[in-house]
Structure 1
C-alpha cells in the first residue's frame, strides 16, 4: 500500500476540498535477483570446475615443474590464489565474452578490469589503457605479450538481457500478484476542512503516515480515531492468484535457457543425485572441454616459444575427473590385456604421472600380462590336437 499524499487545494468563495492521491499499485517487484541467480549458478559451476584443474607444462611426456607451473597452479600474483584467480578469469571470460591477462614487471599474472583493443589485419593487435583495479598501465601491450582469451562472438550478458526481458516481466508480475493475494486494503475518509491551512494539511499527512507505519510491520496495530477521520479495511475472501509453484516454474525456465546457452545439463543445477554420470559427461564434453581448449591455446601462444612447441613442449590443462579410478579398473585391465596401450600410457590418460620403469612401457596382452616380444605367438585360447 502506497503512502498517502494530500493535494488539490482550491479556494473560490466556497469550502476547500482536500483530495487524497492513493497509489493503487505497488512498484514493480525487484527482478534483478532472477538474473543474478542464473548467472551465479551457471557461471559459478563452470568456474569452480576450471579452478580444480591442474595446469601442466609437458615435455617428453613429463611434467616440468618450473616457475610457470608454480604461478598457474598456486600463486599467479601476490594477492590471489590460483583457484580464485581462475574463477575470476572464467567469470569474466563468459560474461564479458573475453578476458585479458597481463604480466607485470615482477612476473605476476594480473587480470585486466578494462582495456581498449585496437585490431589490425596484418599486424598484432594492440591493447591500450589497460586498468587493473585502480592502476592504469601507461604502456601498450602487443597480442604476443598478453594472454587474451575470447569466449564466443556474442556477449552472454546480451543474451541474458534478451531472455530477461520476457522472463523478468512475467516473474515480476507473478511476484506482485502473490504479494497482493492476501494484502490488506483500506480506505480513509476525511471530512472537508475549511480554509487554505497548510498546517492542517501537514498534520493530516503526518497522522496518515503514522497510521501506515503502524499497520505495515505489526501483527496487531491499534489506530486511534479522531473527528473527521475514518479508517476502514477491506479484505477479499478466497483471493485467487498465482501459486508459489508457478513462480518457481518461471525461475526454472529462465535458468534452463541460460544453462542451455552455456552447454550445462539442467539436471546438474537442480541438485539431483541420481543418474548423473551421463549429464556429467555431457557437461565435461560440451561445456568444459571447449572452454579449456580456448584457455590452453591462449596460454600456449604466449607462454611457450614456437620452437619449443614444435619440439613437443606444451601446456595442457587436466580437468577434474568425474569417475573414481577404481570404477575404471575393469576397463583399464582390458585395455592393457588387449595390447593396445601400455601401462604408462594409461597412467597418463587417467591423469597420473608416468613411472620411470622400462617394464611400464612394455605392451602386454592376454590375462597373463606377458610381453608381446617374448611370446612369439598369439594366445588364441583353446586346446591343440596332437598330430
Structure 2
C-alpha cells in the first residue's frame, strides 16, 4: 500500500467502505502520520509565502517593473505562474533544506534532483540536474544558478526520532481500539444442550449464521435454542472504545505540534485555534517566513546585480507585507499620522494598504502639519504655553487720539 493512498483512504473513506485499523500496525502507518503532519505544516508556510510580492529596485531605490519583475511576480516559466512556482520552491526548501533553480532563456526552472560537488575556494558544481523526466546536460557553477540552502539536513530527518516514539504510542492505542471496537459477550450453554444429538449442528448454525447476522444488523432479533443464553458485554467496553478514539486523535494532534515546532510555526495555527491569531501570525512571520524572505532576497540580489549596483541601492526584496490582511479603516488613523508627519506620501500609503498609486504630482508630495517643529525652533520663538499670550498681543495700536506719546495734544 502506498503511503499517500493509505493517507487518502484514511482521511476520506468511501461511504460504503470500512477502515481496516490493522493498517495502523503496518510500518508505513507511522510514516504516513509523519508525512501528514509535515505536509500540513509545510503547506501552510508555502501557501502563506505565495502572498509575498517582489520589489525590484534600481540604484535610486525606486521600484522598476522590468522583465525580472514580471518573471518574479507573474510568470517565472512557461508552465508555472508565480503562485505555483513559489509554493513549490518554499515547500521543497522547507522539506529538503535546499533547492536549486536554473535560469534558462528568461525562465526560472526548479530542479527536482541534482548532484552537488562542494568546494572551498571556487564555485560549487551542480550536475545531473533533472526536472520531471528531462535531464539538463552540462555542469553549472553556483554563480550561474540560484541555490537556496536553509539548513544542512531535510526536515524529515530532524523529526524522525520524535515520530519513532509516536509510532509506538500509535500502535498501542490502535491495538486497544481494535480490541474495544466490537461487541463482546458470553454464550452460556447448559449441560443438557451440550449432550443433545444435534448440538454440533445447532452450535455451528448459531455461531456462523445467527450471531453473524445479529452483529452486522442495526436492529435485529437473535433466536436462541433451548439451553443457550447470550450475555452481552458491559458498557465499559463502549467507554474504552471512545477513549481509544480520543487517544488516536490526540496522537495526531501531538504529531502536528512537533512538526510545527520543528518548522518554527506557532502550534495554534496548525490546530486551527482562533484565539490570539494575530499574535500567532506575527510569530510565524518573524520566526519562519522572514528568514526565508531574507534568504531569497539575498540570493536574487547577488545573482542579478553587480557589486556596484548593489552598493548603489539596487536589488530584489521579497516583501512579506502582503501576508497579513489589511483593513484600511482600522489603519486610517495611523496612515493620517504618517502623512501628516511627512514620513510618507499619499501614494506610498496607498501602496502599503494594497492600493495602486495615483502617480499624481500632489499624491507624491510630502506634507507636514504646523504641529511639528524642531527643538531649536522652540527657543527661536515657536508658540509655547508660556509665550502664547504674548504672541497673541498686537505689536502696537494705531494712535487716533491726536495726542503725542507724552500725553499732550498734537495741537499747539
Fold agreement, TM-score > 0.5: yes
CA distance in 2, matches of 1:103, 1:246: 49
Does the CA contact (< 8 Å) of 2:345 and 2:363 recur in 1? no
| 1:314-353 aligned within 5 A | 314-319=315-320, 320-322=322-324, 323-343=326-346, 346=349
Does the CA contact (< 8 Å) of 1:97 and 1:150 recur in 2? yes
| 1:104-183 aligned within 5 A | 104=104, 106-183=105-182
CA distance in 2, matches of 1:351, 1:112: 33
| 1:222-371 aligned within 5 A | 236-237=233-234, 238-239=236-237, 240=240, 242-319=243-320, 320-322=322-324, 323-343=326-346, 346=349, 355=359, 357=361, 360-366=364-370
Q: Which moved more, 1:336-345 or 1:143-152?
A: 336-345
CA distance in 2, matches of 1:304, 1:102: 17
Does the CA contact (< 8 Å) of 1:62 and 1:353 recur in 2? no
Cα deviations across residues 11-32 of structure 1 (Å, max 9, x unaligned)? xxxxxxxxxxxxxx95615233
How far the C-alpha of 1:143 sits from its partner, in A, is: 0.8
How far the C-alpha of 1:279 sits from its partner, in A, is: 1.3
How far the C-alpha of 1:359 sits from its partner, in A, is: 6.6
CA distance in 2, matches of 1:116, 1:318: 31
Matched residue, 1:70: 70
CA distance in 1, matches of 2:75, 2:317: 18
Q: Which moved more, 1:157-166 or 1:349-358?
A: 349-358
CA distance in 1, matches of 2:232, 2:172: 21
Residue 75 of structure 2 aligns to a residue in which SS? coil
Matched residue, 2:216: 219
Residue 278 of structure 1 aligns to a residue in which SS? helix
Does the CA contact (< 8 Å) of 2:124 and 2:142 recur in 1? yes
Bigger fraction of residues in helix: 2
Matched residue, 1:40: 39
CA distance in 1, matches of 2:247, 2:52: 39
Residue 110 of structure 1 aligns to a residue in which SS? strand
Residue 327 of structure 1 aligns to a residue in which SS? coil
Does the CA contact (< 8 Å) of 1:336 and 1:365 recur in 2? no
Does the CA contact (< 8 Å) of 1:115 and 1:131 recur in 2? yes
Task: Pick closer, same or farther for the CA change 1:112–1:353 going to 2, 3 Å.
Answer: same
Task: Pick closer, same or farther for the CA change 1:171–1:360 going to 2, 3 Å.
Answer: same
Task: Pick closer, same or farther for the CA change 1:342–1:378 going to 2, 3 Å.
Answer: farther
Alignment of 1:95 with 2:98, yes or no, is: no
Query: Over the residues paired in the alignment, what is the CA RMSD in angstroms?
Result: 3.7
Cα deviations across residues 323-357 of structure 1 (Å, max 9, x unaligned)? 32332221222334345555555556556666453
How far the C-alpha of 1:272 sits from its partner, in A, is: 2.8
Does the CA contact (< 8 Å) of 2:342 and 2:366 recur in 1? no
Does the CA contact (< 8 Å) of 2:99 and 2:147 recur in 1? yes
Which structure would you say has the larger Rg? 2
Task: Pick closer, same or farther for the CA change 1:336–1:75 going to 2, 3 Å.
Answer: closer
Task: Pick closer, same or farther for the CA change 1:81–1:145 going to 2, 3 Å.
Answer: same
Does the CA contact (< 8 Å) of 2:33 and 2:252 recur in 1? yes
Does the CA contact (< 8 Å) of 1:366 and 1:379 recur in 2? no
Does the CA contact (< 8 Å) of 2:99 and 2:148 recur in 1? yes
CA distance in 1, matches of 2:310, 2:114: 29
Does the CA contact (< 8 Å) of 2:53 and 2:73 recur in 1? yes
Does the CA contact (< 8 Å) of 2:50 and 2:83 recur in 1? yes
Does the CA contact (< 8 Å) of 1:147 and 1:298 recur in 2? yes
CA distance in 1, matches of 2:232, 2:130: 58
Residue 297 of structure 1 aligns to a residue in which SS? helix
Cα deviations across residues 224-279 of structure 1 (Å, max 9, x unaligned)? xxxxxxxxx99753323543222222222221121122121111222233432111
Matched residue, 1:206: none
Unpaired segments ≥5 residues, structure 2: 1-20, 186-207, 219-229, 396-412
Matched residue, 1:384: 389
Does the CA contact (< 8 Å) of 1:126 and 1:141 recur in 2? yes
